[in-house]
Amino acid sequence: MASQATAEWRVRPRPSGESGHGRVRSRPRPGGGSATIWRSGRLNRFVRVLPGMLELDPPVIDQTKIPLAGMSPRYDEKQLRINQRTKNRTGFALGSAPVSKEEGGENFLVLTETSSPPLINATPITQITPSEPDQPTNSEDFSQTTVSEPTPTNLLPDPSVNEASTSGQVYQPPALRWTKDHPIDQVLGNPSSGIKTRRQSGNVCLYVNFISENEPKEIDDALRDPAWVSAMQEELAEFIRNNVWLLVPRPRKRTIIGSKWIFRNKLDEIGTIIRNKARLVAQGYRQEEGIDYDETFAPVARLEAIRLFLAFAAHMNFKVYQMDIKNAFLNGKLNEEVYVAQPPGFVDPKFPDHVYKLNKALYGLKQAPRAWYDTLSTFLLSKGFVRGKIDSTLFLKKYPKHILLVQIYVDDIIFASTNPKLCEKFELLMKSEYKMSMMGELTFFLGLQIKQSEKGIFINQGKYVHEMLKKFDLTSCTPMKTPMAPPLTLDKDSKGKSVDVTLYRGMIGSLLYLTASRPDIMYSTCLCARYQAEPKESHLTAVKRIFRYLKGTPNLGLWYSKDSGFDLTAYSDSDFAGCKIDRKSTTGGCHLLGGKLVSWTSKKQNSVSTSTAEAEYVAAGICCAQVLWLRNQLQDYDIQLSKIPIYCDNTSAIAIANNPVLHSKTKHIEVRYHFIRDHVMNGDIELHFVPTEYQLADLFTKPLDVTRFNMLISELGMLNPDD
């Protein structure tokens, strides 16, 4: 018995004159007598047994089985180390072993020398009912050992209790907080944050331990991370599924294009990492025109077209949905012979000198966007869709009483319909041809956060604002009420102190992207962008003022109401010689569909105007061009408009447009600005006078005080959900 790996614990009265393998220790009992605790095997410590078990002559128990709820039969390495420390302190460890249904169908606790402690305190166990005292007990027979109902107790002894006491007090060990052994510094997100419910939560929870938060720069670093190895294998599996390439011997006198792995973490709308994406891209800069590629242009939707799509959806009160084509460029068919080298880290050991001949496009090729657009548009046209007359990324399918709209931006697709069943049919149609993911209602698109409700659609970029403030270390700056204070005028500031050009240009670029939903910073951002060649401290101060304004209004955005109509109106304005460097004027304009702001501009004019009338006339011509584009775009939505009003606050400019006579002070104006006269005569547009205090385009030509600034952004339909 001494050679057994698992110790056997026996509790029995000590017969006189008995000698055994191990040490014997007597202890007094209430009412007389004593109990003996006998050790066998290779254990080196004593274990106090519950006094209730010694009231009668106990049976011999070998590997006592005690039911324990909540036990898991497996423990990780960290818990095993904790078990060893517990064993060193108490002399034994607690473990678990699975038991078949015939033995009770429960997990039983077994006293072993190498087992692990449970993850809970004060675990319910069962008392052991000993046999009757007048019946002899066979030390090797367990047939008379029965298990009663569980009662809360604990097997660990209490060192604070007097050894001579058998009052029944049971030691309760200090509460220990058991945690997962996943390192805290590798936990994605905030460990103390509450539970969040989101789409595909099951997949996120399933693979959370296999997501890496680091983006490797080199292939060697990625190959050492199992998460990124899995991502690369997933990418190559898509190549096989789409029949992208074929391994062939290296051809002679042909350019072999290299390839490179790009690693990116995919984020959701709140910035949580949900996926590691590895993408194999071709080194397209090595392609030769006429040999490896021919046509490269691919149409891309304008942001005005996206906002027009959302404004129409709000007006018609239907939901907009989004889908994403997985590995979209891998579906584009190539017309040229292109060869690429085997991807780094995944070279075929049998054919290390072979190369891949591409059957379909690969990310990084110059013609890849064009090939994907041709493939997708051909498929949609074959299914009865019609391409937009102006916007070639808009596809429509008209029914007697309904219409289905599809807007494409590379591999992202948004669609909506007056009949929800048509959206379901379109989803099934796309799934039958491409591997895609249906993302439900549109919530995040091209950096725009979109919230749809029964009353309308709200667009903002609050998440992007917080990212910018953090990126440029301005999270603790003092908020301002306007992006630029009047009468601020910027110039070259030749005597000023120079600042970091890269930092300044990065801040300007971030702000320009934010203007997709923030017309309130359009003028100030465009003004500061004129000095990117040699920025000075005064220019950087003006840029930081914009960030301080954003700190106070991060969630400000555009509101498209469903009950405001859909009539197109435009406002045109200009300052006079506002630029202190070349004395050119600034054109400002905005275009609304039933009060929904869909387009705006703030741009320095190309020529110097000699009068305010000339500057306003040039601005009206630029505004007219945008109005005509919107009118033609609306024709695809079955909306016909004529005599579109353009509001201007300069009567002289209106007179020049309405009267085709050349005066001595206007004869030098370029011919391209006179096309507004032709459209006025044809009845396409109408110029109307508006007082300056009601000129909405004033926001895009000059800095304003707080009162007027807030009034204009409110009239343009900008709302702050925090207010």
DSSP string, 28-54: E-TTS-EEEEE--TT--S--PPPGGGG
Distance between CA atoms of 456 and 319, rounded to whole angstroms? 10
Q: Are 457 and 314 in contact (CB under 8 A)?
A: yes
What per-residue confidence (pLDDT) applies to 86? 54
Confidence band for 606, pLDDT divided at 50, 70 and 90: confident
Distance between CA atoms of 468 and 483, rounded to whole angstroms? 15
Confidence band for 593, pLDDT divided at 50, 70 and 90: very high
Q: Which amino acid is at 73?
A: P
The H-or-E segment that residue 12 falls in is: strand 10-12
Position with higher pLDDT, 453 vs 26: 453
What per-residue confidence (pLDDT) applies to 437? 81
What per-residue confidence (pLDDT) applies to 450? 92
What per-residue confidence (pLDDT) applies to 129? 41
Distance between CA atoms of 428 and 383, rounded to whole angstroms? 13
Residue 323, pLDDT > 70, answer: yes
Distance between CA atoms of 588 and 610, rounded to whole angstroms? 18
Q: Are 259 and 280 in contact (CB under 8 A)?
A: yes
Number of H helices, E strands in the chain: 15, 30
Residue 360, pLDDT > 80, answer: yes
Nearest to 388 by CA among 403, 366, 368, 369: 403
Q: Tokens 């039933």 correspond to what residue?
A: 594
Q: Which amino acid is at 559?
A: W
Cα distances from 242 to residues 7, 245, 333, 489, in angstroms, run: 61, 9, 11, 57
Instruction: Determine the angle formed by the axes of helices 537-552 and 522-529, rounding to 10 degrees.
Output: 160
- For residue 151, what are the β-bridge partners? 125
For the segment 53-69, the average pLDDT, to the nearest whole number, is 43
For the segment 126-140, the average pLDDT, to the nearest whole number, is 42
Q: Are 359 and 336 in contact (CB under 8 A)?
A: no
CA atoms within 13 A on the CB side of 398: 8
Q: Which amino acid is at 609?
A: S
For the segment 2-6, the average pLDDT, to the nearest whole number, is 43
The H-or-E segment that residue 96 falls in is: strand 93-97
Helices (H), 388-458: 420-433
pLDDT in tens, 547-565: 999 999 999 999 999 888 8
Q: Which amino acid is at 683?
A: G
CA atoms within 13 A on the CB side of 375: 22
542: tokens are 């003006």
Residue 47, pLDDT > 90, answer: no
Confidence band for 204, pLDDT divided at 50, 70 and 90: very low
pTM of the predicted protein model:
0.67
Confidence band for 662, pLDDT divided at 50, 70 and 90: low
What per-residue confidence (pLDDT) applies to 221? 85
Q: Which range, 71-80, 620-629, 672-681, is most confident?
A: 620-629
For 634, the 3-state DSSP assignment is helix
What one-character-per-residue DSSP string does 337-397 give? Answer: --EEPPPTT---SS-TT-EEEESB--TT-TTHHHHHHHHHHHHHHHTT-EE-SS-TTEEEE
413: tokens are 């697709």
Q: Could you give phi then psi for residue 700, rounded to 5 degrees?
A: -105, 10
Q: 405 Cβ partners below 8 Å, 6+ apart?
A: 309, 312, 394, 395, 396, 415, 416, 417, 637
74: tokens are 């497996």
For 217, the 3-state DSSP assignment is coil
Q: Could you give phi then psi for residue 41, rounded to 5 degrees?
A: 75, -145
Q: 352 Cβ partners below 8 Å, 6+ apart?
A: 342
User: CB count, 10 Å around CB of 587?
Assistant: 26
Q: 51 Cβ partners below 8 Å, 6+ apart?
A: 166, 167, 168
Distance between CA atoms of 58 and 56, rounded to whole angstroms? 6
For 298, the 3-state DSSP assignment is coil
Confidence band for 175, pLDDT divided at 50, 70 and 90: low
Residue 628, pLDDT > 60, answer: yes
Distance between CA atoms of 477 and 483, rounded to whole angstroms? 14
Q: Are 216 and 232 in contact (CB under 8 A)?
A: no
Lowest average pLDDT, out of 122-136, 616-630, 663-677, goes to 122-136
Extract the runs of DSSP E, i.e. beta strands, from 418-527: 436-441, 444-445, 448-452, 456-460
Q: 164 Cβ partners below 8 Å, 6+ apart?
A: 27, 28
Q: Are 633 and 391 in contact (CB under 8 A)?
A: yes
What per-residue confidence (pLDDT) applies to 423? 92
Q: Which amino acid is at 283?
A: Q
Cα distances from 560 to residues 308, 317, 454, 462, 474, in angstroms, run: 10, 11, 11, 17, 31
For the segment 615-639, the average pLDDT, to the nearest whole number, is 92
Residue 197, pLDDT > 70, answer: no
Average pLDDT value over all residues in the chain: 76
Q: What are 16-22's contacts with CB under 8 Å, separation 24+?
A: none
Distance between CA atoms of 558 and 714, rounded to whole angstroms? 10
Distance between CA atoms of 13 and 133, rounded to whole angstroms? 12
Domain boundaries, the chain: 10-152, 201-446, 564-690
Distance between CA atoms of 688 and 658, rounded to whole angstroms? 11
Distance between CA atoms of 306 and 310, rounded to whole angstroms? 6
The H-or-E segment that residue 592 falls in is: strand 586-593
Distance between CA atoms of 634 and 388, rounded to whole angstroms? 10
- For residue 147, what are the β-bridge partners? 128
For the segment 231-237, the average pLDDT, to the nearest whole number, is 89
Distance between CA atoms of 358 and 53, rounded to whole angstroms? 79
- For residue 415, what are the β-bridge partners? 321, 406
For 101, the 3-state DSSP assignment is helix
Return the percentage of the chain with pLDDT > 70, whole number: 69
Q: Are 154 and 68 in contact (CB under 8 A)?
A: no
Class (C level, CATH) for 564-690: alpha beta
Confidence band for 493, pLDDT divided at 50, 70 and 90: confident
Cα distances from 114 to residues 21, 72, 96, 125, in angstroms, run: 21, 15, 11, 20
Helices (H), 515-591: 522-529, 537-552
Confidence band for 457, pLDDT divided at 50, 70 and 90: very high
What per-residue confidence (pLDDT) applies to 17? 46
What per-residue confidence (pLDDT) applies to 510? 95
Lowest average pLDDT, out of 33-37, 497-501, 631-635, goes to 33-37
What per-residue confidence (pLDDT) applies to 23? 46
For 157, the 3-state DSSP assignment is coil
633: tokens are 């775009």
* Residue 682: DSSP 8-state: H
Position with higher pLDDT, 399 vs 1: 399
For 502, the 3-state DSSP assignment is helix
What per-residue confidence (pLDDT) applies to 102? 41
What per-residue confidence (pLDDT) applies to 112? 40
